Amino acid sequence: MWQTLALGALLFPALFAACLRSLARLAPGWSRKDRIVLSGRLVSSTQAMMATLSGIVVICSCKDVVHDRHWLAQEYVWIVVSYMTYDLYIMYLCYWHKSEEKGEAPRKHSLASMTGFLRRERLMVTHHIFILVILTPVAVHLRGELGDFFVGCIYTAELSTPFVSLGKILMQLNLQDSLLHKVNGILILATFFLCRILLFPFMYWAYARQMGLPIYKVPFRIPFHCNVANALLIAPQLYWFALICRKAFRLYSSSPSPDRNR
């Protein structure tokens, strides 16, 4: 536990610092804000790929979705803890530098600055704190030795993150009208829907198949707190998916038609 937590606490800040230093050499004309934002997205994508691969390994190793164990299900929780803690600070850093560029930033690390950040990013901050305060104890202690398969499923929810980050990076590079951005938009929709929306019915279906139950009986057979946790997890995903669909509609509806190009 402590070794894994320490590894994550060192890994993500080190990756961020390395990206920041590399961008200073590769793009010296960029502002510090742009370098910080891009570095944060690159580290976020790295963690997402690590989580997805860990989840796939756990899922493929657990034939019995209730009782089978895999060490990654437990150990990667501490990587998630270290990443979420790191990411809260990087989110604040990005917020402050964006505000500073607009001339709206109060003194760094002041109460006014922190309050503005919490107000602006309240949903993402709540999401991170929920994972740290609620899901971590559940994943490590309260579930006992059951459900590594489902922990692996939750890890794979990160599959959409690299595509979301790539979309933001392309916009940062003023490539929002490129074909790559449009193709990436489709991949965001597909991976987000599969791994953050359909993931939850899939977990209920996997349990139903294991237990020989119809899927509609599963919510009444599993502990109540599991249903509550799933509901709290899927609620922000549905909200974010609606936002993604709205942005995708604007992106594709604004594409020039053949008649306009004549």
**Position with higher pLDDT, 226 vs 161:** 161
pLDDT tens string 96-155: 888 877 776 677 778 888 888 888 888 889 889 988 988 888 888 777 788 899 999 999
Instruction: Give the pLDDT band of residue 35 (cuts 50, 70, 90).
Output: very high
- pLDDT above 50 for 262: no
Q: Give the pLDDT of residue 261.
A: 40
Per-domain residue ranges for the chain? 2-249
Query: Exposed (0-12), middle (13-18) or buried (19+): which is 175, by Cβ within 10 Å?
Result: middle
Q: pLDDT digit string (tens) for 209-221?
A: 999 999 999 999 9
The pLDDT value recorded for residue 176 is 83
Q: State how far the Cα of 52 lies from the Cα of 158, in Å rounded to an integer.
A: 6
Q: Which helix (H) or strand (E) holds 58?
A: helix 32-61
46 pLDDT higher than 90? yes
The pLDDT of residue 253: 73
| Spatial separation of the C-alpha atoms in residues 248 and 250, rounded to whole Å | 5
**Entry pTM:** 0.86
pLDDT tens-digit readout, 173-187:
888 888 898 899 899
Cβ count within 10 A of residue 99:
18
Residue 258 above 50 pLDDT? Answer: no
Per the rule left: phi > 0, alpha: psi between -120 and 50, beta: everything else, 144 is left
DSSP assignment, residue 217?
Answer: G
- Is 254 a residue whose pLDDT tops 70? no
